[in-house]
Structure 1
Amino acid sequence: MIKLIDLNKQYVTRSKTVHAVDHVNLHIRKGDIYGIVGYSGAGKSSLLRCINLLERPTSGQVIVNGTDLTKLPKKNLRIARQKIGMIFQHFNLLSSKTAAENVAFNLKAAGVKEPAIPGRVKELLELVGLADKADHYPSQLSGGQKQRVGIARALSNNPDVLLCDEATSALDPKTTESILKLLKEINQKLSLTIVLITHEMEVVKEICNRVAVMENGKIIEEGDTYSIFAAPQQPLTRDFIDKVLQYKLPERLLERSRGVIVNILFRESKAEEAIVSEVLKSCGVTGNILHGKIEYIQDKPMGFFIMELTGPDTEIRKAIEMLTDRTAGVEVLRNVL
């Protein structure tokens, strides 16, 4: 669906050349909800804007539906862009126009004939749950409602691709949840490919089936979302995931412990089984849960328990060996044996 081949974007200033996008290769499949995550300055916004050539790459190829956009003349590029919708962090609505007029504006700009516009506007506002807000101006709408208008506007030309530029960053957590739910519904109903950039791994966890992690203009890690969460390879990726899963235990608990403290990891079906209780019972070891969490990523469970194990030394070692065999792994955080 979307292929980025050796993509580069440089900005030249008086003092230096900034490599905002540095030799990026990505393949985004049709129907993906693809997340691109990174901190500010990582290059993710530049990368996103290269996909529809709002930013023209310094070099490389941007292939969408088999067409290399970088080789199109201006007229053909304008037509191709109509199949790539975009929503923005700060909505970018026309303040002097109502919700319906904001959506209609895009239709008129695309050359849709006047008689067809009202029906299409009504259909789009119903799709995003704003049928009753058609005559409201942006100043009369909440942040979430403004973003819904932005989504309706981006969908006006029946795009194949929807680009989301930090679409939820300006929203509170509850509204973010509702917008992500809407995007997922749109993805499923319209078979739409969604590319979403964010600095929040929580957003990726909730909606994306694949994710790429960016740092200094480069893709440093890429894969399906569950695998990235289950076994992150890069320190930056682990940093993002730690903020979601919160593995760390307060130092005071480690210092006060009189037993062995272990972090037991669970993946997929094993996260829903009574493995720990069975192992501890068979070894005669007591387990005190200090911290634990189960998350569902792409409807598959992932979890961990941080436990203090007490009992005979030999039985604790045996329990750790059995847990290592039957779970996704055991990390010893403190060992007094």
Structure 2
Amino acid sequence: MIRIKELSKEYTTKKGPVIGVNQVNLTISEGEVFGIVGYSGAGKSSLLRCINLLERPTGGSIEVNGRDLTKLKGEELRKARLKIGMIFQHFYLISQKTVAENISFALKAASTPREKMASRVVELLEMVGLTDKKDVYPAQLSGGQKQRVGIARALANNPAVLLCDEATSALDPNTTLSILRLLKKINRELNITIVLITHEMNVVKEICDRMAVMQDGRVVEEGDVYDIFSNPVTDLTKEFISSVVSFDVPQSILDACKGRLVKVLFRGDVAGEGIIADTVKQFDIKANFLHGSIEYIQEKPLGLFLMEIKGEPDDVTRAISYMEGRGAQAEVIRNGL
């Protein structure tokens, strides 16, 4: 478990002090994948680097598995850091060393006995799907393969926590997906707690269990990924989610609508039921679909629809109430013209 309490990080600049992290409180459970989302300058990278004390906080505490890292120094801190692996956006592989040597570098840092190193390297390469790249140099690898080496290196010393600093930002979409699936596989098989920062909601949607949204050094929203996608609270979170789930409809289409515009949300198993079809059959209304999609988040469906409903006002009101009674969330965003 990671417990962050009242964490602050202040930087000294020529123009004066700059607050990177401002009184952040977070609890990340053992074995979960936790995403931290924010635009550049939000403080997410500073927060991540504070977790393993690459950046020493100005105030507050960081407990990892019951130990407050801010109170550790020297050899004690070095040993604690060995149990916190880190994956970087730009890989940081040693170009003059082979894949096996890059991974061995992390093992040497932990004083792993030489007779155990070779077998551990083979084990790690098998884990990340690079058994045939053992003696290859980084320049001969694709971006995705380089990141797989970075993951193997981060896992070398059996960490309890894996920190991912924009680990997929430099990769194309297909490679990003393969890396995210690898991380999820590692999380499930090894029960490693993963904390990743990103500005891409698709990354969070793909593998995270819970998430936090940061702005100006603060956490402005936190919770289960499914809950946040289905019911975002802050404008910033809504903005991020709109990059994945959008209700954009041409204004000319909206202007042509004379009925009541209704946004309908279906959560969980309700998304698979024919509620709208049943509603149209049961009430004297006409429904015109303007936009609709079903997203799968944490393997659960989330249905989102924008529709124009025409009919007598009382019939339309009863139809909306019926959908809500069946478990949908209906929001009237414009009454009929």
Q: TM-score range by the shorter chain?
A: over 0.9
TM-score, length of structure 1 as denominator length: 0.97
2 CA distance for matches of 1:59 and 1:318?
55
Q: What does residue 167 of structure 1 align with?
A: 167
1 CA distance for matches of 2:51 and 2:71?
13
1:93–1:102 contact (8 Å) kept in structure 2: yes
Q: What does residue 145 of structure 1 align with?
A: 145
Q: What does residue 239 of structure 1 align with?
A: 239
Q: What does residue 59 of structure 2 align with?
A: 59
Displacement over 6 Å in runs of 4+: none
- Secondary structure of residue in 2 paired with 1:336: coil
2:267 matches 1:267: yes
Q: What does residue 212 of structure 2 align with?
A: 212
2 CA distance for matches of 1:6 and 1:99?
40
**One-letter amino acid of the structure 2 residue matched with residue 162 of structure 1:** L
How far off is 1:124 after superposition? 0.1
2 CA distance for matches of 1:281 and 1:190?
50
Cα deviations across residues 187-242 of structure 1 (Å, max 9, x unaligned)?
01111000000011111111010101100000111111111112111111111111
2 CA distance for matches of 1:87 and 1:149?
10
2:71 matches 1:71: yes
1:293–1:303 contact (8 Å) kept in structure 2: yes
2 CA distance for matches of 1:196 and 1:276?
38
- Secondary structure of residue in 2 paired with 1:195: strand
- Secondary structure of residue in 2 paired with 1:244: coil
How far off is 1:333 after superposition? 3.1
1:271–1:303 contact (8 Å) kept in structure 2: yes
Cα deviations across residues 243-267 of structure 1 (Å, max 9, x unaligned)?
1111232211101223322111111
2 CA distance for matches of 1:44 and 1:333?
34
Q: Show structure 1 runs of 5+ residues with no match.
A: none
1 CA distance for matches of 2:144 and 2:335?
49
2:191 matches 1:187: no
1 CA distance for matches of 2:10 and 2:153?
31
Q: What does residue 307 of structure 2 align with?
A: 307
Q: What does residue 279 of structure 2 align with?
A: 279
Q: What does residue 45 of structure 2 align with?
A: 45
Q: What does residue 14 of structure 1 align with?
A: 14
- Secondary structure of residue in 1 paired with 2:60: strand
**One-letter amino acid of the structure 1 residue matched with residue 256 of structure 2:** R
2 CA distance for matches of 1:44 and 1:314?
49
2 CA distance for matches of 1:225 and 1:233?
13
**One-letter amino acid of the structure 2 residue matched with residue 249 of structure 1:** V
**One-letter amino acid of the structure 2 residue matched with residue 252 of structure 1:** S
**One-letter amino acid of the structure 2 residue matched with residue 68 of structure 1:** D
**One-letter amino acid of the structure 2 residue matched with residue 205 of structure 1:** K
Matches within 5 A, 1:321-332: 321-332=321-332
2 CA distance for matches of 1:269 and 1:32?
23
Larger deviation, residues 327-336 vs 85-94 = 327-336
**One-letter amino acid of the structure 2 residue matched with residue 292 of structure 1:** G
2 CA distance for matches of 1:114 and 1:317?
74
1 CA distance for matches of 2:30 and 2:37?
20
2 CA distance for matches of 1:311 and 1:16?
62
Q: What does residue 101 of structure 1 align with?
A: 101
Q: Show structure 2 runs of 5+ residues with no match.
A: none
- Secondary structure of residue in 2 paired with 1:93: coil
Cα deviations across residues 57-114 of structure 1 (Å, max 9, x unaligned)?
0111111111111111211100110000000001111111111111011111211111
Cα deviations across residues 14-71 of structure 1 (Å, max 9, x unaligned)?
2221110001111111001000100000000000000000000011111111111111
1:97–1:137 contact (8 Å) kept in structure 2: yes
**One-letter amino acid of the structure 2 residue matched with residue 96 of structure 1:** Q
